[in-house]
């Protein structure tokens, strides 16, 4: 099946990365961020100063004791931060350079229940996310469909095809695991190239062509199987599928991901292989061009300024930081208290939404927090990343992703 | 957050740049009276923007210049200064500022201003612009079309609407497009991105409605009427724009569902 | 004390036109001059008082299922009587008011005071409430009529205040004031002023434009 999307935009941006992977980067510090998974009430299983190996569970969810989160490097736990109401905020681990990995028991992984417990125990389950509301998938739940996203159209994103071709055995094994996990249709969403797997009754390979946001899973969900009333759909990225395949083939976790290090602030933009949660400042520092910089985890559209790589981010973008100009105190004061300027509907804005829904009414409903109108216009299948392009196009002063998150939280509480 | 160029202020400067040739042509056609009206209207609008900045922290916007230019182009007649001040105050306060500034208004501030002027002082005649003004609007219109600020759907459907109704009434549509005031109104008032419909299908309907009303209201026994037709056509169309949007959304909701197969 | 509150409450704090937004139609139509506005105010106040008093007197005997019909019948009869009285003693003004005295029957203010207050309260206090509402309505009508007549014709109660250009003076009458939209604008501005002085009257908004954490303004 081939779906061609007419609406999309190219984001012109300097610092295109070369597609050669640099595997020689040593990362000596990683961080696990609570922001990546939504509000989780955590029970921390290690203490500061303790030694961990790759795969050691470091914290788990209080509500679901089997949902474990594991360390991606071996080393010493440096710092643990828990926020209000036991919400997990951040944990940093200093890597010791040795790559000690724990072994997991994969013998029971050929049944759906065994596979689920393996994924939960090895910390791979948080790779599966559910929509609506974009949370970690419910381990007891059944989705309406499962989406494997094997394409990425964000500006400067790594090209999935060579990465998958290099690890084709792991990818095939991971895909088979996804087929085992659920009986509902599994959609493999890929660019318009040779199919990465064979289509069958259960696995549907769908090729998408078009500019960004054609590669976002929100677009795929809207076009193929938007969740109806009370339904959920799950999605997972291709690199996480490769990691699951690796776990099933070798009984060990693969904590490495290939991310692009790019942007006008880097003098040698390229792909790098780093563990999850790598320290971005240390990663980027050897390659920075002169001048103050902002380091974003994620693409230039929708990236967050962060010390560590996000769990689901596959890009690091470095942009120059605008110097703080001193204006007259009255002008500064006025600028600070002014209400935000409204966005103006332009033809560019019409191209930013992957589903066919009208953009301007949706953005207006989100701006005022009108959850009911937003739901009618189809916001349930979306996450913050789907509106990143719209925020970028309207000048970047209003974060529609944040407004969407507020509306989704309201809908989730009311549901 | 990183941002592209289409911030509200960038767009307003773009529209200002597009309207400047028309302003020069209007001063050339109508004389220094038009320039006086423009500057007076600009002063009043800026005053009220500053009042609302002070009392409600609303950011000021350069779109005031375009509104002032519209007053000069479409109301260059013998209006007394106090009449311009009253109309400009009404238009900017009631038409734009109480809603939260440009970007949050329902009708274009210039349309509100000019409608007030025409209703309150109907005895003053308003000359329509000639071909020079019409030609001066074209480069600005092209720039706005290329940058995507002016929606081509609105322009095209308005032209089609005007031509259809004009032919239906047995008149020559080219008379309409030879009048500079009409072309200016079509591009800058009917094509205002904020006051027009927000959905894609809605834009076609809104544009057609504005064009059809323009022809319907403008053609009289003695020829084509002039600026009053475009102002009232634009007023009615932009008041109906939210209704058109609601209708379009209700009618097309099921088409956002996936393809079958 | 409660009686006094009932009387002056509806004048500003609970004004039927500016807070409850009732009776707008006649407020637009008859305020082109002060004399018609005055006659209308008096007519409405009289009908309101007489109607509320009557309904309050018989309130325990009206069956609930047909109470609206009974109220309308009483009010309609009173309006017809009032209309006849105005035609008899002020014929020229009655011509200018044309159908609007008759339309007091449809004025939601009259029925709402009857249904909401007179049906549940003794006659004395009902009459006071009717008088208060009538005075509140009259106040708004007089203010709007004042502005419209002064700016639209330069006269007050028919007496020239500003000499218009048609008679060789300086004042250019504002034609807009003789049209209905001007009454809406004046009413809107009046409501704005009242709610600025009495912020308690401002309604709760459904949605608020919230600022974001760390939002930049360019």
Q: Could you please report the per-residue DSSP string of A331-346?
A: HHHHHHHSPPPPP---
Tokens 């701006």 — which residue? A367
Does C210 score more than 80 pLDDT?
A: no
The chain B residue lying nearest A350, using CA atoms, is B200
CA distance C187 to chain A (A): 28
Contact C216 A397 (CB under 8 A): yes
The pLDDT tens digits for B93-111 are: 999 999 988 999 999 999 9
In chain A, residues with a C-beta closer than 8 Å to the C-beta of C208 are 368-369
Contact A395 B4 (CB under 8 A): yes
**Residue that is written with structure tokens 């990425």 in the block:** A152
Concatenating the DSSP letter of every residue in chain C gives -HHHHHHHGGGTTT-TTTTS--SHHHHHHTTTSHHHHHHHHHHHHHHHHHHHHHHHHTGGGS-GGGHHHHHHHHHHHHHHHHHHHHHHH-HHHHHHHGGGTGGGGG-HHHHHHHHHTGGGS-HHHHHHHHHHHHHHHHHHHHHHHHHHHHHHHSEETTEESS-BGGGTSSB---GGGGSHHHHHHHHHHHHHHHHHH-GGGSPPPS---PPPTT----
What per-residue confidence (pLDDT) applies to C211? Answer: 64
B225 inside domain:
yes
Determine the average pLDDT of the residues in B41-67: 93
State the residue for tokens 């109401």: A85
Chain A residues in contact with C217 (beta carbon < 8 A)? 335-336, 338, 340-341, 397
Chain C closest-CA separation from residue A213 CA (Å)? 24
Residues of A in contact with B97 (CB under 8 A): none
What's the pLDDT at B78?
A: 84
Residue C217 has pLDDT above 60, yes or no: no
Question: Hunting for tokens 């007053």 — which residue is that?
Answer: B71
C175:B119 CB<8 A: yes
Tell me how many residue pairs between chain B and chain C have CB atoms under 8 A apart: 20
pLDDT exceeds cutoff 80 at C213: no
pLDDT computed for residue C166 by the predictor? 81
Query: CB–CB of B114/B70 below 8 Å?
Result: yes
pLDDT value, residue A150: 95
Query: With 0-12 CB in 10 A as exposed, 13-18 as middle and 19+ as buried, what is B78?
Result: exposed
- Give the total number of structural domains in chain B: 1
pLDDT grade for C9, boundaries at 50, 70 and 90: confident
Q: How far is C176 from chain B (nearest CA, A)?
A: 4
pLDDT per 10-residue tile (average), chain A, 415 residues: 90 88 89 89 91 92 92 93 90 90 88 93 94 92 94 93 94 94 94 91 93 92 88 94 94 93 91 94 89 90 90 93 81 81 90 89 92 89 92 88 92 86
**Average pLDDT estimate for B41-45:** 96
Task: Kindly list the distances between the CA atom of residue B198 and the CA atoms of A300, A347, A359, A372, A409, in Å, as whole numbers in the listed order.
Answer: 27, 11, 8, 18, 26
DSSP H/E element including B157: helix B152-168
Looking at residue B257, its pLDDT comes to: 57
Give the list of residues 6+ apart from residue A6 with CB closer than 8 angstroms, or none: A210
Instruction: Name every chain A residue with its beta carbon within 8 A of the beta carbon of B13.
Output: none
Test the C interface: residue of A399, A401, A404, A406 with most C CBs within 10 Å: A399
Q: Is the pLDDT of residue B52 over 50?
A: yes
Question: pLDDT averaged over chain C?
Answer: 87
Mean pLDDT along residues C24-48: 88
pLDDT of residue C103: 84
- Nearest CB among B7, B120, B123 relative to C218 is that of B7
Q: Distance between CA atoms of A247 and A173, rounded to whole angstroms?
A: 9
The residue among C131 and C173 whose pLDDT is bigger is C131
Beta bridge partners of A43: A60
Q: How does residue B259 score in pLDDT terms, banded at 50, 70 and 90? A: very low
Does residue B111 lie within any of the structural domains?
yes
> How high is the pLDDT of residue B260?
35
| C interface test, pick of A322, A368, A396 with most C CB neighbours within 10 Å | A368
Candidates B7, B80, B122; nearest CB to C175: B122
Contact A348 B148 (CB under 8 A): yes
Inter-chain contact A399–C215, Cβ cutoff 8 Å? yes
Q: Does C174 touch chain B (CB under 8 A)?
A: yes
- Cα–Cα distance, C30 to C27 (Å, whole number): 6
CB pairs under 8 A between A and B: 117
Compute and round to an integer the Cα radius of gyration of chain C. Answer: 20
| Domain hosting residue B242, numbered range | 8-255
d(CA A370, CA A377): 11
| Nearest-CB residue to A341 (from C206, C212, C217) | C217
Is it the case that residue B166 has pLDDT exceeding 60? yes
Give the pTM: 0.90
Beta strands in chain B (DSSP E): 219-220, 223-224
- Asked if A370 is an interface residue toward chain C (Cβ–Cβ < 8 A), one would say yes
Contact B256 A396 (CB under 8 A): no
Please state the ipTM of this predicted complex.
0.91
Say if B1 falls within a structural domain. no
Nearest chain C residue to B117, by CA: C176
């Amino acid at each position: 099946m081939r779906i061609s999307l007419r609406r999309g935009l190219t984001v012109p941006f300097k610092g295109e990365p070369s597609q050669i992977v640099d595997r020689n980067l040593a990362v000596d510090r990683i961080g696990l961020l609570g922001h990546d998974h939504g509000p989780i009430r955590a029970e921390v299983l290690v203490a500061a100063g303790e030694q961990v190996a790759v795969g050691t569970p470091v914290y788990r969810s209080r509500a679901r004791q089997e949902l474990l989160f594991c360390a991606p490097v071996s080393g010493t736990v440096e710092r643990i931060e828990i926020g209000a109401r036991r919400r997990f905020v951040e944990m940093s681990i200093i890597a010791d350079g040795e790559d000690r990995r724990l072994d997991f028991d994969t013998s029971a992984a050929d049944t759906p229940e065994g596979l689920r417990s393996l994924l939960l125990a090895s910390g791979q389950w948080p790779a599966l996310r559910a929509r609506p509301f974009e949370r970690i998938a419910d381990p007891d739940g059944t989705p309406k469909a499962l989406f494997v996203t094997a394409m990425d159209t964000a500006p400067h994103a790594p090209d999935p095809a060579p990465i998958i071709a290099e690890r084709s055995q792991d990818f095939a094994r991971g895909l088979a695991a996804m087929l085992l996990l659920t009986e509902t249709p599994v959609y493999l969403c890929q660019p318009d190239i040779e199919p990465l797997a064979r289509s069958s009754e259960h696995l549907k390979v769908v090729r998408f062509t078009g500019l960004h946001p054609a590669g976002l899973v929100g677009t795929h969900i809207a076009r193929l199987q938007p969740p109806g009333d009370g339904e959920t759909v799950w999605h997972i990225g291709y690199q996480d599928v490769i990691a699951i395949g690796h776990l099933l083939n070798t009984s060990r976790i693969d904590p490495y991901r290939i991310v692009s290090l790019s942007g006008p602030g880097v003098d040698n933009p390229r792909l790098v292989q780093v563990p999850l949660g790598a320290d971005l400042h240390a990663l980027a520092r050897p390659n920075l061009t002169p001048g103050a910089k902002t380091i974003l985890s994620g693409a230039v559209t929708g990236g967050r300024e962060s010390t560590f790589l996000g769990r689901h981010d596959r890009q690091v973008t470095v942009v120059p930081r605008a110097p703080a100009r001193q204006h007259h105190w009255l002008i500064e004061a006025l600028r600070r208290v002014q209400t935000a300027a409204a966005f103006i509907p332009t033809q560019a804005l019409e191209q930013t939404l992957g589903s066919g829904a009208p953009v301007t009414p949706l953005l207006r409903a989100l701006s005022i927090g009108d959850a009911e109108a937003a739901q009618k216009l189809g916001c349930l299948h979306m996450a913050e990343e789907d509106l990143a392009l719209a925020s970028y196009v309207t000048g970047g002063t209003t974060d529609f992703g944040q407004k969407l998150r507020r509306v989704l939280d309201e809908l989730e509480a009311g549901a | 957050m990183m941002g592209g160029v289409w911030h509200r202020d960038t767009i307003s400067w773009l529209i200002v740049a597009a309207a400047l040739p028309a302003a020069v042509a209007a001063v050339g056609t109508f004389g220094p009276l038009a320039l006086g009206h423009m500057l007076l209207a600009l002063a009043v609008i800026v005053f009220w923007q500053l009042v609302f900045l002070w009392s409600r922290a609303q950011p000021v916007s350069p779109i005031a210049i375009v509104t002032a230019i519209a007053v000069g182009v479409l109301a260059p007649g013998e209006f007394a200064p106090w009449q311009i001040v009253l109309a400009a105050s009404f238009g900017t306060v009631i038409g734009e500022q109480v809603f939260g500034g440009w970007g949050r208004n329902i009708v274009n501030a210039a349309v509100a201003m000019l409608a007030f002027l025409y209703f309150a002082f109907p005895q003053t005649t308003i000359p329509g612009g000639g071909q020079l003004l019409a030609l001066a609007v074209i480069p600005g219109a092209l720039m706005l079309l290329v940058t995507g600020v002016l929606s081509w759907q609105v322009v095209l459907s308005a032209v089609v609407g005007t031509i259809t109704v004009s032919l239906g009434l047995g008149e020559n549509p080219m008379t309409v497009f030879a009048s500079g005031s009409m072309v200016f109104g079509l591009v800058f008032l009917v094509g205002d991105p904020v006051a027009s419909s927000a959905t894609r299908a809605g834009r076609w309907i809104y544009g057609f409605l504005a064009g059809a009303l323009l022809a319907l209201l403008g053609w009289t026994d003695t020829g084509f009427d002039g600026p009053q037709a475009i102002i009232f056509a634009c007023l009615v169309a932009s008041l109906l724009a939210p209704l058109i949007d609601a209708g379009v959304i209700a009618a097309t909701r099921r088409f956002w569902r996936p393809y079958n197969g | 004390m409660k009686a006094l509150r009932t009387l002056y409450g509806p004048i500003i704090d609970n004004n039927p036109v500016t807070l409850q937004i009732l009776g707008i139609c006649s407020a637009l139509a008859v305020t082109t001059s002060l004399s018609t506005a005055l006659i209308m105010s008096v007519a409405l106040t009289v009908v309101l008082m007489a109607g509320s008093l009557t309904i309050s007197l018989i309130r325990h005997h009206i069956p609930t299922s047909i109470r609206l019909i009974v109220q309308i019948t009483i009010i309609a009869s009173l309006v017809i009587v009032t209309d006849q009285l105005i035609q008899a003693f002020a014929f020229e003004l009655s011509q200018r008011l044309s159908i609007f005295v008759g339309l007091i029957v449809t004025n939601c203010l009259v029925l709402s005071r009857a249904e909401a207050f007179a049906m549940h309260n003794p006659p004395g206090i009902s009459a006071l409430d009717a008088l208060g509402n009538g005075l509140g309505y009259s106040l708004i009508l007089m203010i709007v009529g004042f502005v419209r007549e002064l700016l639209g014709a330069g006269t007050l109660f028919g007496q020239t205040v500003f000499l218009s250009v048609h008679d060789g003076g300086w004042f250019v009458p504002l034609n807009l004031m003789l049209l209905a939209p001007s009454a809406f604008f004046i009413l809107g501005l009046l409501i704005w002023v009242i709610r600025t002085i009495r912020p308690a009257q401002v309604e709760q908004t459904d949605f608020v434009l919230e600022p974001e954490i760390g939002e930049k303004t360019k």
